[in-house]
Structure 1
Amino acid sequence: MATALVGSPFGPLRRWNLETGESDHLRDSDDCEAVASVAQGGREFVCLGSRQGDLQFRDLATDTVVSSCRGGSGWVSAIAFTELEGRAVMVVGYGDGSMELRERPSGRLLARMNGNADWVHTIVITSVDGRPVAASSGSGGSVRLWNLEEQAEAVEAPAHSSRVRAVVCTVLDGAAVAVSASHDHTARVWDLASGRALHCLEGHTDWLEGVACTTVSGAPVAVTSGEDGTVRVWNLADGVETGRIEASDSGLQLLSCGHLEGGPVALLAKKGFDRARTAIWDLDSLQISGVFEAVSYHPASAWAFVDGRPLVVIAESDLGGHC
């Protein structure tokens, strides 16, 4: 069953059946601050991280608890799943900057990985030279790469001068790279093997809040959005801006990137406290190719395919969701 999970700071997690459109709430999930889901052994599982530092692994179909444990100090701020030497594991980040490697679904602690000085905003799993690694970002501007086989920090990339809000990983000329978006108005492209900065993507005039990667005409690009009201496209090979769109009356927010009918698109939303439409931005033509019905302030989205049909799930601030 194709399922979407929608979280809110004001209530429990909502579980949506993408095939029927029906939804319900997960029990006792009001204080959930981080969530990740995975298919394992023919079953769907979800891991919930709470404000008290608790971790709970559940069978998503039945909403029954498989295991639970007390994690590190502070809020659980990020969770990512991966495989390590044939074993299912998860990497967990906390509000005090600490990180842990845990077995799933048992939750058994395998290693602690300390090094972040503050809140872990993002954990992204990728591979460098065939080794599984985790890239993490923090409030102090750091981007760190962790060797999961050795449970040790492998690389610390030169820091941004302010909070890093998002990190994504991709491949550039056969090499693993990360793109980080920061409140210092820049995005940066890093070589993950060495930690060397390849490009600084400069042009935004305010905080960056989002970044996503895709390909346009076969070339890898990054798409960034900022509080300056613009969404911009950058060629990752040379760091040059190749396109932008901006709102005349309020800011734009990048929700996600994907492909529609074989072409690259970005999903955009107007920022503001009124209701506004969500737009599909064609990254080949740099033109708006379609709009969705109005949604409210600060939506989030995810792409899904159900029976071969592309769907986008949009969560909005009235505690609802659309598909």
Structure 2
Amino acid sequence: MKLKRFLLRYYPPGIILEYEKGGYLRTKSIDLLDLTPETNPDELVVEIRQSEPLITESRAEQVKHLVLRLQQKQGQQNHHRFCFFKELKAHILPLTNVAFDKSGSRFITGSYDRTCRVWDTASGTELHMLEGHRNVVYAIAFNNPYGDKIATGSFDKTCKLWCAETGKCFHTFRGHMAEIVCLAFNPQSTLVATGSMDTTAKLWDVESGEEVATLTGHTAEVLSLCFNTVGNQLVTGSFDHTVAIWDVASGRRVHTLTGHTGEISNVQFNWDCSLIVTGSMDKTSKLWEAVSGKCVTTLVGHKEEVLDVCFDLSGQLIATASADGYIINGVPHSPHTVMTLPVCLSQVQHECSVQSHISVSSP
């Protein structure tokens, strides 16, 4: 193996190693999730060298310089004030979803008008209209961090893969027996996962367009799915009240997470793949160990259904959003609430469902 160069990732903090092996260019990441401005950089470099053979003594000073840059970035105070930027007439029918690419320079919108559109963020110019679906475009995603491909999932039971630069359709993935309602690229951008009302999830090969695996076992609609950051596992959440962890290589179900008494609204891995958070219509969220499948804690406090959950990128905080109009921030491994923010989510969702335009804010 030969180290070619370093790439810096500011958030969550980390260093990406680009190296050559067997004639191929590969990457691996050194995640520095516990880095703070107070961390001793010399001690950290010693720890990194002990665990990563690509970091030789001659590279130690470079790594220290990168650590110092990350610490400098952490020490900067950001006081963003967001203001209205522009409003775009995006579609002739209501929007279903919106997603940015990694840099934020482009975003995509899905709609009941059966199209997905690609937009330039700065100018508001429509770059491409992705046409071909025969029903609502309900799920959309860029293949971040690359941003050169787009996947769209539709109520027409198909998923399409598009070129983000030209708008050309590469593949149409056919095989689901009911509406596709969620999708995701794996981190390597070699697979697309789709979840459907037909109770299954499927894995598709980005290069060939062929179906790789059908993940069966849920007894109701699959409404949410997420790859871990390594890409070797997929988690799915279903209306059957359960969550499943799947081994991507074999398509085998590793664990079934049971404990919720209502439909699962969302599932997500944390950055280091050790934890999974789930939200449910039973008004609770749960935190699970990814390796064992055991429930770590149940987050209670909402008075209505939990509609969305997420980790911050460092994995230190969890946010839950509910139909009761509140967002609650919590700490993993602790059931205690850090902060409660009243937000009229039901009104927001209603407005999103009936509007066919989109507003962009700028810091």
Q: TM-score range by the shorter chain?
A: 0.7 to 0.9
Give the aligned partner of residue 299 of structure 2.
245
Match of 1:56 among 117, 121, 129: 117
- Tell me, yes or no, if the aligned pair for 1:296 and 1:317 is still in contact at 8 Å: no
Give the aligned partner of residue 196 of structure 2.
138
- Tell me, yes or no, if the aligned pair for 2:118 and 2:126 is still in contact at 8 Å: yes
The separation in 2 between residues aligned to 1:201 and 1:178, in whole angstroms, is 13
Superposed displacement of residue 223, structure 1: 0.9
Number of residue pairs matched by the alignment: 276
Match of 2:327 among 278, 301, 304: 278
Structure 1 residues 27 and 321, CA, compared in 2 at 3 Å: closer, same or farther?
Answer: closer
Structure 1 residues 58 and 233, CA, compared in 2 at 3 Å: closer, same or farther?
Answer: same
Residues 184-242 of structure 1: per-residue CA shift (max 9 Å, x gap): 01000000111100000011111111112116xx7711111111122111111111111
Give the aligned partner of residue 237 of structure 2.
181
Matched position secondary structure for 1:256: strand
- Give percent identity, aligned residues only: 19
Matched position secondary structure for 1:92: strand
The separation in 2 between residues aligned to 1:213 and 1:255, in whole angstroms, is 11
Report the residue type matching 1:154 in the other structure: V
Matched position secondary structure for 1:26: strand
Match of 1:167 among 225, 230, 233: 225
Q: Is 1:25 the counterpart of 2:73 in the alignment?
A: no
Match of 1:225 among 276, 279, 284: 279
Give the aligned partner of residue 288 of structure 1.
337
Q: Is 1:72 the counterpart of 2:133 in the alignment?
A: yes
More helix per residue: 2
- Tell me, yes or no, if the aligned pair for 2:101 and 2:147 is still in contact at 8 Å: no
Indicate the RMSD between aligned Cα atoms, in angstroms: 3.0
Give the aligned partner of residue 151 of structure 2.
91
Higher RCO (Cα < 8 Å, 6 or more apart): 2
- TM normalised by structure 2 equals 0.68
Uncovered stretches (5+) of structure 1, i.e. residues with no partner: 1-17, 300-314
Bigger Cα Rg: 2
Report the residue type matching 2:141 in the other structure: A
Matched position secondary structure for 1:289: strand
Structure 1 residues 73 and 58, CA, compared in 2 at 3 Å: closer, same or farther?
Answer: same
More strand per residue: 1
Residues 113-147 of structure 1: per-residue CA shift (max 9 Å, x gap): 111111111111115xx671011100111110011
Report the residue type matching 1:209 in the other structure: S
Superposed displacement of residue 321, structure 1: 11
The separation in 2 between residues aligned to 1:256 and 1:298, in whole angstroms, is 18
Matched position secondary structure for 1:22: strand
Structure 1 residues 321 and 257, CA, compared in 2 at 3 Å: closer, same or farther?
Answer: farther
Matched position secondary structure for 1:247: coil
Superposed displacement of residue 76, structure 1: 1.0
- TM normalised by structure 1 equals 0.76
Residues 140-162 of structure 1: per-residue CA shift (max 9 Å, x gap): 11110011111111011123110
The separation in 1 between residues aligned to 2:320 and 2:293, in whole angstroms, is 22
Match of 2:98 among 22, 28, 35: 35
Matched position secondary structure for 2:143: strand
Uncovered stretches (5+) of structure 2, i.e. residues with no partner: 1-79, 353-358
